[in-house]
Amino acid sequence: MKPFVKPRIVISRCIEFDFCRYNAQIIRSEIISRMKPHVEFLPICPEVEIGLGVPRNPIRIIEKQTKKYLLQPNTNRDITEEMSSFSQRFLTNQRNIEGFLLKSQSPSCGTRDVKIYPAVTHSAATRREAGFFGEQILHHFPFLAIEDEMRLQNPIIQEHYFTKIFTFAAFRRIKQAASLQKLLMFHTENKFLLMGYSQKELRILGNILANQDKQPLHTMFSEYEHHLHNAFSKAPRYTTQINVLNHAFGYVSQDLKDNEKKFYASLIQKFRNGLISLSVPINLVRSWVIRFEQPYLLPQTFFQPYPDELLDVEAIKASNVRDFWK
């Protein structure tokens, strides 16, 4: 089994960790439960941290003359400064983390879908954006993996999130080792993965490692990290992923039977049409890489960017893999 560095993820404490929502409830998530053995979670509830207690009266964001306030309508309490101060203090002290998993629609933790109101009561929301804590996260760590538990149910977003946090975690260990040799190995093993995300950033990363300007090692690591973050700034296009798959397929195709090639082509078409997840054709090609002991492809993280236990099992079931054996 391939060893993975555990990503360090700050998570809203009400998701799978504690009954600390405003109504003293907990949010259950099969995905987060599946992640627990493979991720170092750092649970936090900003509302509890500033003393609101459990249970508590709900809070909402009010905008007056372009300025936002965080208020508790039932008590008319203004907690704007408390939440802003806590967010600034907590996030400034965070080091060596790969991302965040936050409660959707929360006035504190939400990152994109929080209702903004024009008045404390008897008013409809005018728009949606980030909550107070979530907004500070986006400001401090725009390059990290940041999602909420609802969006993580989307298979494409989920695959991208998992890939991002485990790649960043692996780089963290390399950076701590401060070894050029290990950095070169990291780059080599992630070449196909980076190719699928951004060929432009892959070229830049290669140039950084070539180090024609004779930069010191710490500068190389800093520049490499910056462009690694750039490469993973958004999910890859399905067309580039297909190109990488076909590139890898070329290494093993000469050893395959015609019906195996046809089955691969059928899976690529299903992936192109959005009927199956990327993990399905990737694992098929990966099985051939292992079978034929392809030395260049065996270490490529493209074939296993995160633990198999996190795979979307339902998507794999939907792939009709049994068709191949008929």
Task: Please tell me which residue, 287 or 323, carries the higher pLDDT value.
Answer: 287
Tell me, yes or no, whether 170 lies in a domain: no
Instruction: Provide the pLDDT for residue 314.
Output: 55
Beta-strand relationship, 67-72 and 77-78: antiparallel
| Contact criterion met (CB below 8 Å) for 20 and 53 | no
Nearest to 132 by CA among 191, 80, 94: 80
Beta bridge partners of 64: 67
Tell me, yes or no, whether 18 lies in a domain: yes
Return d(Cα 39, Cα 10) in angstroms, integer.
Answer: 10
Task: Please tell me which residue, 320 or 206, carries the higher pLDDT value.
Answer: 206
Task: Please write the tens of the pLDDT for every residue from 105-115.
Answer: 999 999 999 99
Q: Are 138 and 278 found together in one domain?
A: no
Does the pLDDT value for residue 325 go beyond 90?
Answer: no
| Contact criterion met (CB below 8 Å) for 26 and 38 | no
Instruction: Provide the pLDDT for residue 326.
Output: 35
Beta-strand relationship, 8-12 and 145-148: unpaired
Domain that holds residue 84: 8-153
Tell me, yes or no, whether 161 lies in a domain: no
Q: Are 251 and 322 found together in one domain?
A: yes
What pTM does this model have?
0.92
Q: Are 199 and 114 found together in one domain?
A: no
Map residue 175 onto helix, strand or coil. helix
Q: Are 27 and 141 found together in one domain?
A: yes
Map residue 206 onto helix, strand or coil. helix
Tell me, yes or no, whether 167 lies in a domain: no
Q: Are 198 and 315 found together in one domain?
A: yes
Torsion of CA 256, 300, 238, 111, to 10 degrees: 150
Q: Which two tokens stand for residue 128?
A: 């949606």
